[in-house]
Chain A
């Protein structure tokens, strides 16, 4: 029931899955674990005490990890259900229950309706060691308003929660290559130039790993950059209207068969005579796979098949290569257009139009 954060995948919700992937890739993420669906039975309560002891002394941050895609707007409701500084087991239990309940809140239900996802899905809850930062905040690997290819960092002294919920005006830096623009001389900066550059580098590495521009919550403590959360920037400047600012629309839905979220161009491969059109980094879209497809899977960024299940050979091979897989996605070969850029979420079982692109083709 308790899953180490390092092992978290799509079943643990997008937030935990992303943190698990960051941990496995060697980023500094505060230690923790995920409680899968604590709204159900109470088995997790018995395991909690020893799990907290394993994390060591100190206080904990408790946050929900909804199964739906974790955009900043969508997770606003989640912010209300974040508990920082729980220190006793009883406090953590109470905080976990509160976070788990957030999955049925009106904001979440509204979001689920917009994205066509099943509402009231089981919410996982993340419990992590709290870091005591000198400074914290958010960073974007694209300018959140202009869309320019710059890293924008917003920071405040201390915990950073005030930056996230927008109740203080943070100091802001823009990093464009090696050029750094920061707050005016009147302000005492909360970050050094070296820290700003280190944050920008970390943001770029996270972006490269996920293959999408990222929106990252971070903290600087003891000379280290800690990653508290990372998610794709799902809004583009052209989609600033509230109705359109959700994540891209779901084009195809199937059985989630291998966790992970990646972006790439669709390549619909109809048969053996078609395989030479496939390029490394493509999203392989096909009916099903036989051994002849293994070299394609080896170079694919994700795979989507029309038939099969969790136990399909395609799913087993995809997991072996560590790429997201969505199987049993009816109509994938006709709905998805060759060359169309899509985001494949192998933990949620969805294929979504990439940011700034619609279903029109």
Chain B
């Protein structure tokens, strides 16, 4: 059985990968009850690790620099405790070329939607091209969750977004939904945080 991350670390880490989110969204990501998540968030706030912001009337949580550093310390200890550092580093090396493909498809699709981009990327071609990374993501996730259980869910979320993109292109790069790009962006942030890297 792979390593189970404690709830307080899960909450702090969800704020890191989401970047910004309200309690309900953080609860949704961690699979923990909302009131328990609220407690952990208030605790993190008291320790100076998380801050509550209000952007345009909507409240949400993000990490402070201290919280980001604390999160990285916790994740590093977890990674080494589980003896998973070498395995995750190897996954990250395999992730980077896939990241190139996803970013290139997202960019080509956006430019095509603006009417630039050559040769024109069609929606069908964008969806087809993203199938490759989607399939590879299943393997990436399996290798990660064999060590650390908290990596579960990325493949399902990405595949779900991709299955909707054919009818509704906003599922490719939309920021208002769990789009292909947003899921991928979060996994990238997750790996960077886990390995203590700098963007």
Chain A residues proximal to chain B, CB less than 8 Å: 1, 3-4, 6-9, 11-12, 20, 259, 271-273, 275-276, 280, 287-288, 290-295, 298-299, 307, 310-313, 315-317, 319-321
Asked if A311 meets B103 with Cβ closer than 8 Å, knowing A292-B20, A294-B19, the reply is yes
Task: Name the interface residues of B160-199: CB closer than 8 Å to any CB of A.
Answer: 173-175, 181-182, 185-186, 188-189, 192, 199
Instruction: From the candidates B17, B64, B100, B173, name the one contacting A320 in the complex (CB within 8 A).
Output: B173
User: Which 5 pairs across A and B sit closest by C-beta, in order of nearness?
Assistant: A7-B115, A291-B19, A292-B19, A311-B103, A319-B110
Question: Which residues of chain B are within 8 angstroms of A273 by Cβ–Cβ distance?
Answer: 51, 64-65
A316 nearest in chain B by CB position: B106
**Is A291's CB under 8 angstroms from B185's CB?**
yes
* Contacts known (A6-B115, A11-B116); A272 close to B110, Cβ less than 8 A: no
Bound-state CA distance A319–B103 (Å) is 13
Partner pick for B181 among A280, A290, A316, CB 8 A cutoff: A316
Q: Which residues of B have CB within 8 Å of A321? A: 175
* Complexed CA–CA distance, A293 and B62 (Å): 10
- A-B contact list, 19 entries, CB within 8 Å: A7-B116, A9-B114, A11-B116, A259-B114, A288-B199, A290-B19, A290-B199, A291-B182, A291-B189, A292-B20, A293-B19, A307-B199, A311-B106, A313-B181, A316-B106, A316-B110, A316-B173, A320-B174, A320-B181
Chain A contacts for B186, CB-based, 8 A: 291
A275 and B63 CA atoms in complex are apart in Å by 11
Smallest beta-carbon distance A41→chain B, Å = 13
Q: Does B125 contact A (CB under 8 A)?
A: no
Question: Cα distance A272–B64 when bound, in Å?
Answer: 5
Contacts of A317 in B (CB 8 A): 175
Cβ B175 vs Cβ A320 within 8 A: yes
B73 to A: closest C-beta gap in Å: 16
Is A272 touching B55 in the complex (CB atoms < 8 A)? no
Which residues of B are found within 8 Å of A287, using beta-carbon distances?
199
Report Cα–Cα, A152/B62, bound state, in Å. Answer: 48
Contacts of B68 in A (CB 8 A): 272
B104 within 8 A of A: yes
Complex contacts, B67 vs chain A, CB 8 Å: 272
Q: Which residues of B lie under 8 Å from residue A298 when comparing CB positions?
A: 55, 175
Residue of A nearest to B174 (CB): A320
Q: B156 contacts the other chain (Cβ, under 8 Å)?
A: no
Q: Contact check: which of A1, A4, A271, A299 meets B115 at CB < 8 Å?
A: A4
B196 to chain A, nearest CB (A): 14
Judged by DSSP, the binding face of B is: helix
What is the bound-complex CA distance between A320 and B182, given in angstroms? Answer: 11
Residues on A with C-beta less than 8 A from B182 are 291
B86 interfacial by beta-carbon distance below 8 Å: no
Residues of chain B contacted by A275 (CB below 8 angstroms) = 53, 62
Beta-carbon contact of B20 and A294 below 8 Å: yes
Would you give the shortest CB distance from B194 to chain A, in whole angstroms? 14
Q: Is the CB of B100 within 8 A of A271?
A: no
Is B137 among interface residues, defined by CB-CB distance under 8 A? Answer: no
Interface membership of chain B positions 112-128, coded 1 if the CB is closer than 8 angstroms to chain A and 0 otherwise: 00111010000000000
Question: Closest residue to B15 on the A side, CB-wise?
Answer: A292
A62 to chain B minimum Cβ distance, whole angstroms, is: 20
- A321–B170 alpha-carbon span in the complex (Å): 12
Q: How far is the CB of B178 from chain A (nearest CB, A)?
A: 12
Task: Give the shortest distance, in Å, between A206 (CB) and chain B (any CB).
Answer: 20
Interface core residue of B16, B17, B175, B181 (most chain A CB under 10 Å): B175
Instruction: Check if A315 sits within 8 Å of B107, measured CB to CB.
Output: yes
Q: Is there contact, CB below 8 Å, between B115 and A292?
A: no
Give Cα distance in the complex from A317 to B103, angstroms.
Answer: 11
Set B18, B100, B111, B188: member contacting A313, Cβ < 8 A: B188
Cβ–Cβ contact A295 & B55, under 8 A: yes
CB proximity to A under 8 Å, residues B1-25: 16-20
Digitize B130-165: 1 where CB-to-A-CB distance is under 8 Å, 0 elsewhere: 000000000000000000000000000000000000
Evaluate contact between B65 and A271: CB separation under 8 angstroms. yes
Closest A residue by C-beta to B48? A273
CA distance A23 to B166 in the complex (A): 27
* CB pair B173 A299 closer than 8 Å: no
Q: Is the CB of A291 within 8 A of B107?
A: no
Q: Which residues of B contact A3 (CB under 8 A)?
A: 115-116
**Further 7 A-B residue pairs, CB within 8 A, beyond A272-B63, A312-B103:** A9-B115, A292-B16, A295-B20, A316-B110, A316-B181, A319-B111, A319-B173
Within residues 95 to 112 of chain B, which ones have a CB less than 8 A from any CB in chain A?
Answer: 100, 103-104, 106-107, 110-111
Check A313/B103 contact, CB under 8 A, given A9-B115, A288-B199, A320-B173.
Answer: yes
